[in-house]
Amino acid sequence: TKVKNGTLKFHFYISLFNPHREPPWQTMNTTLVTQSDCPDVKVPIFLFFTIGLASLAENVLVVVAVTCNRNLHSPMYYFICSLAAFNTIASLTKTCENLMITFADVGHLEKKGPSETKLDDVMDCLLCMSFLGSISSFLAIAVDRYITIFHALRYHNIMTMQRTRAILGVIWITCGMSAISMVTFFASTFIMICFVSFFIISLVIICFLYVYMFMLARIHARKIAALPSSGGRNCHHQQRWGSSMRGALTLTILFGAFMVCWGPFFLHLIIIMVCPTNPYCECYRSLFQLHMVLLMSHALIDPTIYAFRSPELRETFKKMLLFANWK
């Protein structure tokens, strides 16, 4: 919550993204809120610091690897680099926010000072942008994999590097402007509805693309198996097909991790809108700090999946960490 011009407003971005600030439903009129017997689950701020710093280091490593290794200069890795950059912003922002909370708790910062309020708005914009950018990157990656698998002969004509850069530019500009709009008009319930709706609609589109992709892939694999053996050409086609499918499977795992880590947080938002006074919903809301741990862990999990699934990235990471000549 924030006090502006004497009016109590519900700033759900600051309140919900901030695990150590008093939840907004507890600052509302107590006559409107049904009390619950479920105590809030507290997570040590040290854990948030540890996850934030570790995820920050990992995602910076991914960005540097893709940027500097010419073998990784392809549309798919550019989109992965964009996803890692958004994760870097989220990790850096949450780490800075936790530092502000720590300084405020010991009296070095004013919790409602004008400078702190503006800085809160900036961090909320960055957090919203990182979420919108992450799911937009997943959408772009899903479309890229679809084109790779089912339009392989035309892929390099469709997904040129110039077009890839243009798509990334649109994603970053759109997400930045949308985040600023969301924080500027934070008092509107419509904004929260749009925020949750974007998450749900994006999940449906991405799930549909991946299910459709793997259904067609299964049919296509059977057709390849039924083809008469033509020596090296058929073997090369099968290897290229297998490589594309491994890439699609890797990105499916990434998307599954995204759903697991962000899903509880958005269920939290939905519960606030649907049943703010229900004691059973209050019990779920008492787990909010655990939801925040999951949300922050997403940026920690993604680079691990890259390293495990991609031999090229894994080799690049190894050479970077050993200070080898890897460019």
Residue 170 has pLDDT above 90, yes or no: yes
* pLDDT tens column, 179-190: 888 888 877 777
What's the pLDDT score for residue 30?
38
Q: Which of 111-125, 152-166, 212-226 has the highest mean pLDDT?
A: 152-166
Tokens of 228: 């008469």
Confidence of residue 202 (pLDDT cuts 50, 70, 90): confident
* pLDDT tens column, 85-131: 998 998 888 888 878 777 777 777 666 667 777 888 888 888 889 88
* pLDDT tens column, 39-59: 778 888 888 888 888 888 888
**pLDDT over 90 percentage in the chain:** 8
* pLDDT tens column, 279-322: 778 888 888 888 888 888 888 888 888 766 777 888 888 888 77
Q: Give the number of other Cβ atoms within 10 Å of residue 166's Cβ.
A: 11
Question: What is the arithmetic mean of pLDDT over 182-211?
Answer: 80
Mean pLDDT (the chain, rounded)? 76
Q: Which of 12-16, 225-229, 282-286 has the highest mean pLDDT?
A: 282-286
Ranges 92-96, 173-177, 230-234, 271-275: which has the least confidence: 230-234
Residue 9 has pLDDT above 60, yes or no: no
d(CA 289, CA 44): 9
Rounded to whole angstroms, what are the CA distances from 250 to 30, 138, 222, 255, 267? 48, 12, 22, 9, 26
Question: What's the predicted TM-score (pTM) here?
Answer: 0.76
Q: Are strands 2-4 and 7-9 parallel, antiparallel or unpaired?
A: antiparallel
Rounded to whole angstroms, what are the CA distances from 104 to 108, 109, 116, 245? 6, 4, 10, 50
Confidence of residue 22 (pLDDT cuts 50, 70, 90): very low
Confidence of residue 169 (pLDDT cuts 50, 70, 90): very high
* pLDDT tens column, 62-85: 898 888 888 888 898 899 899 999
Question: What is the arithmetic mean of pLDDT over 209-215?
Answer: 77
CB 132 within 8 A of CB 89: no
What's the pLDDT score for residue 58?
87
Burial of 139 (C-beta count, 10 Å sphere; 0-12/13-18/19+): middle
Q: Give the number of other Cβ atoms within 10 Å of residue 272's Cβ.
A: 20
Q: What is the CATH number of domain 45-223+241-322?
A: 1.20.1070.10
d(CA 24, CA 2): 10
d(CA 281, CA 277): 8
Residue 163 has pLDDT above 90, yes or no: yes
What does the domain layout of the chain look like in residue ranges?
Answer: 45-223+241-322
